[in-house]
Amino acid sequence: MDDDCCSTQLLDGDGTFNVEGLDRFVSTTKLSDCGLSYAVVAIMGPQSSGKSTLMNHLFHTNFREMDAFRGRGQTTKGIWMAKCVGIEPFTLGMDLEGTDGRERGEDDTTFEKQSALFALAVADIVIININKPLLKTVFQVMMRLFSPRKTTLLFVIRDKTKTPLEYLEPILREDVQKIWDSVPKPQAHQDTPLSEFFNVEVTALSSFEEKEQQFKEQVAQLRERFFHSISPGGLAGDRRGVVPASAFAFSALQIWKIIKENKDLDLPAHKVMVATVRCEEIGNEKLRDLKSDEGWLELEEAVEAGPVSGFGKTVSSILERCLSEYDMEATYFEEGVRNAKREQLETKALDLVHPVYVTLLGHLRSKALEDFKSRLEQSLSRGDGFAASVRACTESSLVEFDKGFKDASIKQANWDASKVREKLHRDIDTHASSVCCAKLSEMTAKYENKLTEALSHPVESLFESGEKDTWVSIRKLLKRETDAAVAEYSTAVVGFELDEATVDAQVQNLRDFARNVVEKKAREDAGKVLIRMKDRFSTVFNHDNDSMPRVWTGKEDIRAITKDARSASLKLLSVMAAVRLDEKPDKIENVLVSSLMDGAITTQSSQNRGVGPTTDPLASSSWEEVPPKNTVITPVQCKSLWRQFKSETEYTVTQAISAQEAHKRNNNWLPPPWAIAAMLILGFNEFMLLLKNPLYLMVLFVGYLLSKALWVQLDVAGEFRHGPVAGLLSISSRFLPTIMNLLKRLAEEAQGQGQQQQQHQTPTAQKPYTVDSHSFKHESSSSNPTSTVISDSSVSSSNVSYSDSGMEYSSPSQMHRRSSKGEVEQS
């Protein structure tokens, strides 16, 4: 046999299908590459009828042949398949197990019918070694084929005699027709002629054993009929039910499974099933190839990193190659199934590509959005109008996206990027709105800061002044600064091309903010009103009309001054009681004055007259004709603040009164007139005695000088200002040292009288530090904010000097002598 022959056992003796063997056979013979250009020839006949011998001589196969010397027996078990060598197109030979074999026993007819049905379903040409029972079996099983294809039955008359074939063929055809007529048929095929199912061909061969050479010549002639058997007019019958070669193994397996299950075999449905399965396998294979394609993997990886130029063209080429390969392998399968599976393959391939495509569109959208942001920022930095910049940048970004989308378009897909484009437009609008809001907020904040700076300090200063026209000044200031800010703001927002309602709302917000600045400042300063009232009271009470510090000499009308100071403080309270930005009149100041200033006198007078108490206008939580939102300090709070104010300033008034009384006492040291008259009357004798004896007068004069010196040295008046007990204690502790000091000074002056002239001629070497007695001023306690200034005119001619030995007293007449003495001592 030819070396190119390849065979395998398709079915073993038990009817088991050899799947692996058939797959190896298909792979070895490259059957899958044949498409529809192949034919299947099967041979059936009795056991030991020379079937394998005929196949081996006819197709140059290597089927096992019977050993003639061992007698009749089973040589072929099941079904064998081999490649027919040298036959075009590719032809498969199937050698079926012989019928009526004694080896199978009672099961012979079952396998005989199954194998015959399998051969009729698979083969294009069935060679039948003449056997009438077998022919009946063939016709019977043929009825189990639903809409069978037309098969060629080639009857081979073996061991031909001298009777010509022309006489034998009609007899054979007649017998075949009789057998066909006798076979029970379904109702649908009762009148169907034999030619509808079979092409009947008859040939005769000489005996292989007796006329081997003639046998071989006849077989060679018969072999020629199998060349181009599938061409029109060829030996093969109807080719409508044939499956592509790549699906032959699967088709044969499925046919055998149906036959084994004893089911009717629907060949057209089987063809569709085979086409469905095989086309799906091809589609899955091409899809796997697409997933592992290096070009696709590189493109997928590149898209993950960012936009890829030429994406659509590259993907279209890859998909076109994938679909072309599918078309090439599935071209011989049933057209409807093939096209349907092609569409499925295309859909799956596009499903594979779509996420990458969406990712690419996402990159294009992100890039267009980032370019929009960059262009917008650059345009705004150049000072271009916001709305015009947004329009120009939006158009540029959308054009760029459309260009990228066109480059990414895939020929096989009709994907719409309108949603992505709309999302890009929404993102652009969102970012533009965000930038617009940010810019407007920044601009608003800028003008709000300017308003805050322009209003806060001036308003606070006006509140501190607390004059009657404070709110008039604040309203003028607010209008001036607000109008200026609004004008600048309105000019600045022109480039945003906002609608009139929006601009009006923004302007109103700016005006409201300015108003809120003033209101907030008013409420903040309301917390300081008590401190400012006390400061205002202190300023008015302790300073005269020329703003000079007031000295309480006893001539001032403290009651009138106190009333003026309290009126000024009350005016400040009335200013801070409510926000008055609406130019609406109110009676707050009148109510406060009548209740807190005049009300106290009226109440006292009513009580003195025995009249019952009147209604208190401050016993309320709101002011008349003032909205609650404009109320800063309620009437009740004003009354409480005034009560606290009076209690905290009462001490200042008391100290002023005390200072006046002290000043009066310090400036009047003479006893009362009645005491002077009593002294003159009762001391008349003593006075006459002094006149009669001048020595007494001199002693009194010296005593007076010593007493005056002690008075000044001890600062008796100053010590007693702190109280009699404290004054006595201080004077008693200093009295003796002061006496000793005075005596020491007198002794030193007596010793230095001889040197007085020399002291006058010598320059002063050192002068002691002297302090005028009138420089000693005593203030009230530190808690009293009012300082009381007291001058002692009665001791303005005396001095107190400090030296290492202590405090010294000197009169004007003694200053010159002490100075001369000091100069002598220094020299």
**Residues placed in the known binding site:** 45-52
Tell me the sheet residues that pair with 199.
152
By three-state DSSP, how is residue 667 classified?
Answer: coil
Q: Are 824 and 762 in contact (CB under 8 A)?
A: yes
Residue with tokens 């003593």: 686
Q: How far apart (Å, rounded) are the C-alpha atoms in residues 388 and 797? A: 92
What DSSP element (H or E) covers 298?
helix 294-305
Burial track 82-112 (b if 16+ CB lie within 10 A, e otherwise):
bbbbebebbbbbbbbbbbbbeebeeebeebb
Residue 51 vs residues 19, 80, 537, 650, 699: alpha-carbon distances, Å = 25, 12, 142, 146, 188
Q: How far apart (Å, rounded) are the C-alpha atoms in residues 171 and 169? A: 5
Question: Around 143, how many Cα atoms within 13 Å sit in the side-chain half-sphere?
Answer: 18
By three-state DSSP, how is residue 617 classified?
Answer: coil
The one-letter amino acid at 6: C
Q: Are 437 and 506 in contact (CB under 8 A)?
A: no
Residue 638's contacts (CB-CB under 8 Å, 6 or more residues apart) are 573, 577, 592, 596, 618
Q: Are 649 and 534 in contact (CB under 8 A)?
A: yes
How many residues comprise the chain? 827
Q: How far apart (Å, rounded) are the C-alpha atoms in residues 442 and 196? A: 94
Q: Are 127 and 223 in contact (CB under 8 A)?
A: no
**Could you tell me which of 411, 435, 314, 431 has the C-alpha nearest to residue 366?**
431
Q: How far apart (Å, rounded) are the C-alpha atoms in residues 178 and 171? A: 11
Residue 60 vs residues 55, 245, 539: alpha-carbon distances, Å = 7, 21, 139
By three-state DSSP, how is residue 817 classified?
Answer: helix
Count of other CB atoms within 10 angstroms of residue 321: 15
Q: How far apart (Å, rounded) are the C-alpha atoms in residues 329 and 34? A: 10
What DSSP element (H or E) covers 801?
strand 799-803
Instruction: Find the largest Cα–Cα distance for the chain.
Output: 220
The one-letter amino acid at 571: K
Annotated binding residues for GTP: 45-52
Tokens of 274: 């085979």
